């Protein structure tokens, strides 16, 4: 689940390494290492059908969702109903989902997932035998409380409805993860110093954190779900832009800058086409998701930008830089990249890119490696992050696997060959 263990081998010689990595993740997560290799479909859409099946043989498709906006095969933004598919495709998705669950004798809430290729081919992916993270968008657009229906099913009661509800409006869900989108969506565990969610018409928040909460490195990175609904897709987009602009999280990095950028990208928000696919973030998304230092945002190096809260509302404030020079408090927010420019960077150092457990070294001490070769793996927040050799040479391992390290920790060096 959650995209964990899914690896893509672009060349035949990558299969063994990718398979071994998938087995490691499976054994660590589930205690079993069975894995398989299957054909990879490049740039499909991810479309799913929400179903409910009771103990009396009734299977109802509640609606469709599009979950194509993903990173590392894990969903980031979901919407309902799935846009820009033909009525024929929607009918086939509904019928296929219903037939699969009926033939299997399935009972409960579930999600039948499909991949829709660029040529229109619909491929069955899997059935998730539970409520999904993204189930609120279906609730918002159908009026069906999926949790209550699931409890009714468990109690042996029939479903409270027998036909697919007519969609009412459009809904988006944004997963608010503790990840730095500007650094390849690396997890960023730590303490949340400020968590100010948005409010307003069509805005719903399902959250597991508040200001002062800590996000550990041992669990999933999701802090909250922002669900925004409108009468039309266009209205939902407008409301989502406002809600995302209002949302503020301080203390750790989050994917909010990414969500804001996506909601201004024509591939996702166009009224006449849908240009997003499951690898869109990797291959098509050109925007630079970075947090500019607050003093740079003003366009005036002599003015520092900060925020104050007055009567519960956040206000941006510009202050003369001279007033704050020499103070230990960094009122300008994140330090600029030039702040550490004077510090020498060791080109031979092997550093952890993210806080987490050094899961394994995939090379031996003293082994010869090439630049960019995978030499170690760090595990954090349900994800494996590969550590690449910064240069060619021989590996000198200085820290053992199985130990927790903060981001940027020195765990080894590459001795270059003269």
Is the domain of 29 the same as that of 78? no
CATH number where 48 lies: 3.30.470.20
Instruction: Using CB atoms within 10 Å of the CB of residue 366, give its burial: 0 to 12 exposed, 13 to 18 middle, 19+ buried.
Output: exposed
Is the domain of 25 the same as that of 48? no
Is the domain of 276 the same as that of 212? yes
Determine the pLDDT at residue 287: 58
Q: How many residues would you count in the chain?
A: 418
In the DSSP assignment, the letter for residue 324 is H
Determine the pLDDT at residue 289: 58
d(CA 80, CA 103): 26
Question: Is 221 inside a domain boundary?
Answer: yes
Is the domain of 36 the same as that of 56? no
What sign does the CA torsion over 83, 88, 89, 94 have?
A: positive
What sign does the CA torsion over 299, 303, 308, 310 have?
A: negative
Note the helical H segments in 214-363. Answer: 233-246, 256-262, 266-269, 280-283, 294-297, 321-324
Q: Which domain holds residue 238?
A: 42-283
* Residue 370 and residue 385 in contact, taking contact as beta carbons nearer than 8 Å: no
Determine the pLDDT at residue 312: 42
**Axis-axis angle for helices 146-154, 135-142 (nearest 10):** 100
Determine the pLDDT at residue 1: 60
Is the domain of 32 the same as that of 46? no
d(CA 146, CA 134): 11
d(CA 113, CA 266): 26
Question: Is 293 inside a domain boundary?
Answer: no
3-state DSSP assignment of residue 145:
coil
Is the domain of 6 the same as that of 76? no
Q: Which two tokens stand for residue 365?
A: 């001490």
193-226: b (≥16 Cβ within 10 Å) or e: eebebbeeebbbbeeebeeeeebebeebbbbbbb
Could you list the mean pLDDT of each consecutive 10-residue stretch along the chain, which spans 418 residues? 75 91 84 89 95 98 97 92 97 98 98 95 94 96 98 97 96 97 86 97 97 88 97 98 98 96 96 95 72 40 47 46 40 37 70 88 94 89 82 95 90 88
* Residue 63 and residue 47 in contact, taking contact as beta carbons nearer than 8 Å: no
Number of domains in the chain: 3
Question: Is 308 inside a domain boundary?
Answer: no
Is the domain of 245 the same as that of 123? yes
Determine the pLDDT at residue 316: 47
Is the domain of 201 the same as that of 158? yes
Is the domain of 5 the same as that of 85? no
Question: Is 333 inside a domain boundary?
Answer: no
Residue 185 CB partners (closer than 8 Å, separation 6+): 71, 72, 177, 179, 255, 258
> How many degrees, rounded to 5, is the angle at CA 230 between CA 239 and CA 127?
110
Backbone angles phi, psi at 295, to 5 degrees: -70, -20
Determine the pLDDT at residue 26: 85
Residue 204 CB partners (closer than 8 Å, separation 6+): 136, 140, 226, 227, 228, 229
Question: Is 289 inside a domain boundary?
Answer: no
Is the domain of 86 the same as that of 175? yes
Residue 83 CB partners (closer than 8 Å, separation 6+): 66, 170, 233, 274
Q: Which two tokens stand for residue 155?
A: 């109690």
Question: Is 327 inside a domain boundary?
Answer: no
């Amino acid at each position: 689940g959650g995209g964990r263990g899914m690896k893509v081998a672009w060349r035949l010689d990558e299969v063994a390494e990718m398979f071994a990595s998938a087995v490691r993740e499976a054994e660590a997560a589930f205690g079993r290492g069975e894995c398989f290799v299957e054909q990879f479909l490049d740039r499909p859409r991810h479309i799913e059908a929400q179903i409910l099946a009771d103990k009396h043989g009734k299977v109802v498709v509640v609606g469709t969702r599009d979950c194509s906006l993903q990173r590392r095969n894990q969903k980031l933004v979901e919407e309902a109903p799935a846009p820009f598919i033909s009525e024929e495709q929607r009918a086939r998705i509904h019928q296929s989902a219903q037939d699969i669950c009926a033939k299997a004798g399935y009972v409960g809430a579930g999600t039948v997932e499909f991949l829709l290729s660029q040529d229109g081919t619909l491929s069955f992916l899997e059935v998730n035998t539970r409520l999904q993270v993204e189930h609120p968008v279906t609730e918002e657009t159908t009026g069906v409380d999926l949790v209550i229906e699931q409890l009714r099913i468990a109690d042996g009661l029939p479903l409270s409805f027998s036909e697919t509800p007519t969609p009412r409006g459009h809904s988006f869900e944004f997963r608010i993860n503790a990840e730095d989108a500007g650094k390849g969506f690396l997890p960023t565990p730590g303490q949340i110093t400020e968590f100010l969610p948005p409010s307003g018409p069509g805005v719903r928040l399902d959250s597991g954190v508040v200001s002062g909460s800590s996000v550990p490195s041992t669990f999933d990175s999701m802090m909250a779900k922002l669900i925004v609904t409108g009468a039309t897709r266009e209205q939902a987009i407008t409301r989502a832009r406002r809600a995302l602009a209002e949302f503020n999280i301080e203390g750790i990095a989050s994917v909010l800058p990414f969500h804001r950028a996506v909601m201004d990208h024509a591939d996702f928000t166009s009224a006449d086409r849908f240009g997003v696919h499951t690898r869109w973030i990797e291959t098509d998304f050109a925007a630079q998701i970075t947090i500019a230092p607050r003093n740079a945002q003003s366009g005036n190096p002599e003015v520092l930008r900060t925020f104050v809260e007055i009567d519960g509302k956040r206000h941006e404030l510009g202050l003369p830089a001279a007033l704050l020079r020499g103070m230990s408090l960094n009122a300008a927010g994140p330090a600029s990249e030039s702040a550490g420019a004077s510090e020498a960077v060791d080109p031979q150092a092997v550093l952890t890119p993210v806080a987490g457990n050094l899961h394994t070294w995939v090379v031996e001490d003293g082994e010869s490696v090439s630049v960019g070769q995978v030499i170690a793996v760090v595990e954090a927040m349900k994800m494996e992050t590969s550590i690449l050799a910064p240069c060619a040479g021989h590996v000198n391992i200085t820290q053992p696997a199985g130990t927790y390290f903060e981001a940027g920790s020195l765990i080894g060096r590459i001795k270059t060959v003269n």
